[in-house]
Amino acid sequence: MSKRIDIMDGRLATGLRGGLIYTEVLGWIDLGHARGGDIIRLMQKINAGEASSGKTYDVTYSKSMVDGKTRLRLGKFITWRIRKGQTYFERQSIALAMMMTLSRKFENFQHSFPNNLITDSGFSGEDLVSDLLGFYRIMTCINLFPLLKPVSKEEAQKRWDYYGKIGSWKNETFKPLLFPDPAIYPNPQPYFGHLPDIMRTITPYKNWESGNVGIATANGNFMQLGGEAML
Amino acid sequence: MRFSHKVMLIVSGLLVAGLISVWPYVQMDFAESARYTEKDTRQYEFYTPKLLKNMPRVTKNYGFSFSNVAGPGLLIYELQFQGTTDTSQIDRYLEQHGYKKSSTCDIQGDCWTGPEPKVSLSVGIIKDPGTLIISMVKEP
């Protein structure tokens, strides 16, 4: 659940690991979501599976929310069974499909009772597109922020004040939700923009008929109290 | 007033006083993010990791933040110094505390690895406006 105080100066984006910025290309971005650490771990699991013995390997990918003090962790997970021998491009494609599948399930989990009583974060306008940015930051290994045209803190706050908190603007797609500058456009309304070309270079895996990828756990839930995350 | 009523009144008063004193901590525990300075004593003591508390204050203009990022399940603690890009004091401090600079980093600045494998630390360096961003990220 992003708050107005989370808004940061877009010029600092390349040095930040958390906070909220507004970009002209992707709209609001939650830098914590856009870090991509989960994508690094997911690709490590897939690559380790390809190097393992056996004909297939299982890859589990999870998303969770954690209580800062008690370390109670609640979350969702999926496990896909993959036949060995996938090319690097196919591995990226599988990772993207897993990320997109679980991100929607997790946002739905946050959007459902009773979680929606304590957070408006489920399908919050910036969540899914920030997850996608995290994926491409890892896959491209380049600094994407100059392409995204981040704006200053004052410009971002102007949009927040005009349109209201981003948590009340829901976005169930991975498309950017853009908020035109109210000082320039009369009677402006949010609209869906287009992803930049570099964020469309990998397509989510869909060659299900091949039998190379199967679903072992379609919609798992987990709860863990303390300790290192097991999923 | 009967004795039992007096006792009830005192107990109720103590309960309400207890709730009022604990409530800010309940709010902080459930907060998904916070921005504060060292003068906000309650938040400073509640959120700030020891490593950031003892970090050399390289400028007088600095502030702290905390984010609990649902999804990746990250806890992010940040300290920002405005008005400098000189990391020498911070570098020395981190080295003294067993941190080593990594050869690669996912942000503009330096990444450090330390004694805790699930904690990553970075020092973001922004030239315009001159800013240092020290981030501690606790991974799941």
Q: Which of the four pLDDT bands, split at 50, 70 and 90, describes residue B30?
A: low
pLDDT higher than 90, residue B22: no
Altogether, the residues listed in chain A come to a count of 231
Kindly report, residue by residue over A40-60, the tens digit of the pLDDT. 999 999 999 999 999 999 999
Residues 6+ apart with CB under 8 A from A125: A27, A28, A166, A167, A169, A170, A171, A177, A190
Which among A16, A119, A131 has CB closest to B133? Answer: A16
Which of the two residues, A71 and A90, has the higher pLDDT score? A90
Average pLDDT taken over every residue of chain B: 90
- Phi and psi at B73, nearest 5°, equal 70, 40
pLDDT at position A210 is: 95
Of B33, B75, B128, the CB nearest to A66: B75
d(CA A136, CA A203): 12
What average pLDDT does range B12-34 have in this prediction? 78
A113 has a pLDDT exceeding 80: no
Residue from the list A9, A65, A69 with its beta carbon closest to the beta carbon of B73: A65
Residues 60-119 of B with CB under 8 A from A: 65-76, 78, 106-109, 118
Identify the pLDDT of residue B26.
Answer: 67
What pLDDT is stored for residue B20 in this prediction? 78
CA angle A226-A228-A230, nearest 5°?
105
Q: Please, are residues A221 and A72 in contact by the beta-carbon 8 Å criterion?
A: no
Averaged pLDDT for residues B55-75: 93
**What is the value of pTM for the model shown?**
0.88
Contact A65 B106 (CB under 8 A): no
If one looks up domain B32-138 in CATH, what number appears?
3.40.1000
Residue B137 pLDDT: 92
Closest Cα of chain B to A204: distance in Å? 20
Which residues, at least 6 apart from B33, have a Cβ–Cβ distance to it below 8 Å? A2, A3, A5, A6, A18, B65, B66, B67, B68
Say what percent of chain A tops pLDDT 90: 80
> Crossing angle of helices A37-50/A88-111, nearest 10°?
130
* Residue partners of B100: CB distance under 8 A and separation at least 6: B112, B113, B114
| Mean pLDDT score, B64-75 | 91
The average confidence (pLDDT) of chain A is 93
Say which residues have a Cβ less than 8 Å from residue A190's Cβ, sequence separation at least 6.
Answer: A125, A163, A169, A177, A178, A179, A180
At residue A119, the pLDDT reads 67
> Which tens digit of pLDDT belongs to each residue from A120-178?
678 999 999 999 999 999 999 889 999 999 999 999 999 999 999 998 999 999 999 99
For residue B46, is pLDDT > 80? yes
> In the beta sheet, which residues pair with residue A225?
A72
pLDDT at A207: 94
User: Which of A8-17, A85-94, B9-18, B87-96 is least confident?
Assistant: B9-18
Q: Which residues pair with B75 in a beta bridge?
A: B68, B138
For residue B35, name the pLDDT band (cuts at 50, 70, 90). Answer: very high
Least confident of A203-207, B23-27, B78-82: B23-27
DSSP H helices, A8-87, are 37-50
Of A5, A69, A73, the CB nearest to B35: A5
pLDDT bucket at A30, cuts 50 / 70 / 90:
very high
User: How far apart, in Å, are the Cα atoms of B30 and each of A2, A22, A139, A150, B138?
Assistant: 13, 25, 33, 30, 17
| Residues on chain A touching B35 (C-beta within 8 angstroms) | 5-6
CB A21 within 8 A of CB A174: no
Instruction: Tell me what the mean pLDDT of segment A215-230 comes to.
Output: 87
The reported pLDDT for the residue numbered A2 is: 85
For residue range A176-194, list pLDDT tens digits in order. Answer: 999 999 999 989 999 999 9
pLDDT of residue A110: 85
User: Which of A2, A7, A8, A17 to mutate to test binding with chain B, by most B CBs within 10 Å of its CB?
Assistant: A17
CA distance A106 to A46: 21
Contact B72 A33 (CB under 8 A): yes
